[in-house]
Structures are given as structure tokens and as C-alpha cells.
Chains A and B, each alone.
Chain A
């Protein structure tokens, strides 16, 4: 055992000395490799953290939201539907929700306007999300003028702002009183955006949903479990740009790594001949090459992963902001909570270290088994 370890250390000595001969080339390789791992690990850590947070937060969402569809579009729901659905066993509470979007031409941002049920507000009062307050420079007591659907400006006084640490769920919210909401968007009394239902026993939700679609055929129930499922697959690897970007980066790297690792130069072949002639076994030559691949890929993995950790959890995934922001003006400032999936990290480790190491060893096989007397000829 001792002998084995001492021997491996000598092999590492040789590999490192031989890598240092082409210092800039190999450092460049390590850098590119690290960058690829960094990108992959950043996406992985960020999306996993977001999914976990979504799961924790949205498990408090309404059990059932009932939308009315008209010609494939969401429509206002008449309050009479609350009666029409009849008594459904298990539904403990039902009420209408009022919410909508407002486009602010001043900063070209979309806001979500919402009527809170448990927070009485005066007709001219609003509560705004921290992101909105930031982009419009609003503070307590400031006024925000919104254009009503008939064109007249309506001024609101900011009574409060929502907590800054809840931006991930509330950055773009405007809370206002029901009367002001109906006035602003000209929504007649007796209509709601959608209905929210509470179900006491979670096992009955599905039955309730089925009864609802029977009683009100033009409606569509959205269950909390569906909301959770939607967010559980948020940014799965097959999705759009993520895949295109990663696939591009990976392919480029594979070509690069393949060329680097498998192209055995005449010089290297000669060196292997010398090593064998002076007393190295085939296993030593292969072991030496194994360390070359393993050291580079392991180094890249550690460096890339650690940088990604810093990026996502200490710099709030700043590099992803432009991608996630898209054309939006409002972007929540939030701090991802480090939920880490060990299996994902292990998978990343495997896929960064294993293929590269194998790609380094395989081409050496033939060269390592050549007759050592080649150097004498």
C-alpha cells in the first residue's frame, strides 16, 4: 500500500512536470474547463434553489383557483358562479379574487394589481412591492398616478411598501382597495377575476375539481398541486435557451478536450518509448496519463463548483439577471437560499471528471503497449 502510494506520487510528479512544460496551453485548458463547469454548476445551483423556494412558498397558495374561459381566453367570473356551483362537500371557503395587470408607460414596466382580502385600505391608498418602489423611486407618503381605463389619471398615496426580503413573490405588486380597483379598471360589481376555494381535506381536492367542471363547464380549476408541479419543473434542462446554450458550450468543449486529450503527438509517443525503455511498466505509463486527466478535470470541477457557489449564493446569481430579466424592467432583487442537491452535485462531478479522464487514457493505450526497444532502433 505504502509502495503503491509512493509510486502514484512519483507519477503525479512526472505528470505535473510534463504539464508545466506547456504552461499557458494547459492553464488555458483548465480555465476553459473551469468556465464550463462554472456555467453548468451555476445553472444547477440556481435552479434547484429556486425550485425549492417555490415549493416552500407556494405550498401556501390557494388550494383551487377557478378561472372562467371564453373562447380560449380568461374572462371575468360572475359572482353568481359562487352560488351556481352549489354546495360542494369539503369546500370550506369560497370567494372571488380581484387582480390584474397594469402597464406603466413611464418606466415601461408591468405591475400586478391586487386586492388584498385581509388588509383594509382607503380609496386613495396603495401598498407597493419593493421592486416597484425602487424602480419608480417611491417611498411612504409619495403619490403614484395611474391611468384609469377611461383615460383619467387617478392619484394614489403610497401607504406602505412590502418587505424587501419578500421581493421574490411581491416585487411588482400594487395592493389597493376593491372599490378603487373596480373604478380603475371599470370592472362592474358582481364580477371577479377568478375564484379561490379552500378545501379542508387535501385528498378531496381532486373530487372537488371534478364536481366544479361538471357544475360550471366553462370554467377551469387550477389546483395547488398543479402550481407546485409547474414550479418543480421550472428550468428543467430541456428548456429552450438553457439547453441551446449549454449544448453549444458543451459541444465546443468536447471538441476542444478531444483534440487536446486524444491527439497523441509524435513527441509524446517518443517519450513513452523512453519511459518504457528506462524501466516504466505499461501500468505506470497509463497511471501517469490517468493523473493528467484526473488532475485537470478534478481541479476544474472544484474550482468551477466553488466559483458557482459564490456566484449564486453570495452574488445572487448576478450573471443570470440579464437572461431572466428579458425585456422586463422590474426584476426582483432576491437572495437564493442554498438548497443543494447532493445527487446533482455528484452527477456534475461524474460528468466533468470521468469522460475527460477516459478521453485522456484511451489514446495512450496503444502507445503504452508498444515494445520498449523502439528507442533503440
Chain B
């Protein structure tokens, strides 16, 4: 369970171009659910998601994960929480060019120093599952859009996180691929993962796999079903 208490985020604080992206958000996100943050671009949904994933810190307010505060931790611990708890699928996928797909998938586990053989097996199993086994040794930039997203999902899952965070996951996909992404999301939730998405694609928040849609507007919530 993730709880947000009066979370606020300002950019360029104290300077003339100060800008409040999030102006006070309180929210409880349940486990094993798909929650979509919906809103126009610039509404603050991505900022909100990056704070939940402890990629950035709120300027004010607190974020709790299963009752433990995860905002305001020193960098090392925040990184550890991020590595162990959250998996990220970025809008542009952000695979590292020149490295093989397999290496890309293994990357988030490097700092954990876990056994290499079991890590490699886990990565290969993930690639197998997402139908990428044949491309394991291809360079990341040779993948098609759909393949790149599946590789990014593999990478997000390598550390077995509780929570999968995807930013605009369908923005770079056609509708068939978007549909298969939502199918994957459904499977992951069935396995016990919590999934958080941002999107302004009706195909996403209208989908049966989505449990809850939270509407964000100008840094505040407009809650809906």
C-alpha cells in the first residue's frame, strides 16, 4: 500500500521561475491494482509518479510504502528502495544503445552484486516469457518499438519489484501493441504486482484491466472511479 500525504513539488524553488508542479496531493494506492494517472500533458502526473518511485523527492509532504516513509531518505537509501521496490518503464524506453538486450535487462541488478549465473538465468527467463529470447544478443537499438517496450518491461522486472511504474506506455505503440501491453499488465497484477501508469490514451483508462483512474489537473487530483 502506498500512501501520499499532502505531497507538494516545486521546481526552481526560490527563484523567479519558481513553479509548483504538484500542489498538495493525498492519495492511497492499493496493492495488486492497476492505477492510471490521467491528465493533459503538464498536469503533473509524471512528476507525481517519479516522486512515488522515489526518483525525486517531494518539496513537502510524505510518501509511505507499507507504512514506512520513503520520501526524504538519504540518496543511498532512496536508491536502494527504488531498486528493490520499483521497476520503471520509461516513455522512450531508454534502453542503453550498443549493449545487448540481455545486458540491458541485467543492468538494474548490477549494484546488488548478486550471483551472476542466477541473474543471467533470471534475465533469460524473462526474455523467454516476453518472447524476446531470440533477440537476447542483439543490440538494443535494433529492436522494434514493441520489442523495445517488452525489453524495458523485462528490465523493470529483473529485481522482482513490488511495483511497476510505466510512463505513457502506449504513446509510442500502435493499438494492437497497446492492447498486448495491457494484457501483460493484467498478467502481472494477477501475479501480485502493483502497476502504476500515466496515460492520456482512452484505450488505456477505458480498458477492463484498469482498476482505478486518478485524474490529475494542474497539480491537484480530480478523483474518479
Contact = CB atoms under 8 A, between A and B. Distances in A.
Q: Taking the complex as a whole, does A directly touch B, i.e. does some CB pair lie under 8 Å apart? A: yes
Interface of A: 3-7, 9-11, 13-14, 17-18, 21, 267, 270-271, 274-284, 371-373, 375-377
Contacts of A284: 110-111
A5 to B, nearest CB: 8
Given A7-B111, A376-B55, A376-B167, A280 B79 contact: yes
Contacts of A4: 113
B215 interface: no
B98 interface: yes
7 contacts: A10-B111, A17-B99, A275-B96, A280-B110, A375-B55, A376-B50, A377-B46
Nearest to B161: A279
A280 B111 contact: yes
Q: Nearest 7 CB-CB pairs, A to B?
A: A279-B83, A21-B98, A6-B113, A7-B113, A10-B110, A373-B55, A373-B56
A281 B98 CA distance: 22
Nearest to A14: B110
A6 B82 contact: no
Contacts of A280: 79, 108, 110-111
B205 interface: no
B76 interface: yes
Contacts of A377: 46
B107 A278 contact: yes
B108 A278 contact: yes
Given A9-B116, A280-B108, 13 more contacts: A3-B113, A6-B116, A7-B113, A14-B103, A14-B107, A270-B94, A274-B94, A279-B83, A279-B111, A280-B110, A371-B56, A372-B55, A373-B50
Contacts of B46: 376-377
Q: Which one of B91, B99, B107 has the highest number of Cβ atoms from chain A below 10 Å of its Cβ?
A: B107
A17 B79 contact: no
Nearest to A280: B111
B49 A376 contact: yes
Contacts of B199: none
Interface in B64-81: 75-76, 79-80
Interface residues of B, number: 33
Contacts of A372: 55-56, 79, 82
B20 interface: no
A376 B47 CA distance: 8
Q: Which one of B56, B75, B96 has the highest number of Cβ atoms from chain A below 10 Å of its Cβ?
A: B96
Interface in B83-118: 83, 88, 90-91, 94, 96-100, 103, 107-108, 110-116
Contacts of B149: none
B79 A279 contact: yes
A270 B96 CA distance: 9
B155 interface: yes
A304 B116 CA distance: 33
B99 A11 contact: no
Given A277-B90, A281-B76, A376-B46, A18 B99 contact: yes
Contacts of A21: 97-99
A278 B155 contact: yes
A6 B91 CA distance: 32
B35 to A, nearest CB: 17
Given A371-B55, A373-B50, A279 B113 contact: no
A274 B75 CA distance: 16
Contacts of A9: 113, 116
A371 B54 CA distance: 11
A292 to B, nearest CB: 14
A237 B112 CA distance: 48
Interface in B24-78: 46, 49-50, 55-56, 75-76
Contacts of B75: 281-282
B90 A281 contact: no
B159 interface: yes
Contact of A277 (B94, B98, B100, B112): B94
A129 B155 CA distance: 75
A157 B90 CA distance: 92
A126 to B, nearest CB: 71
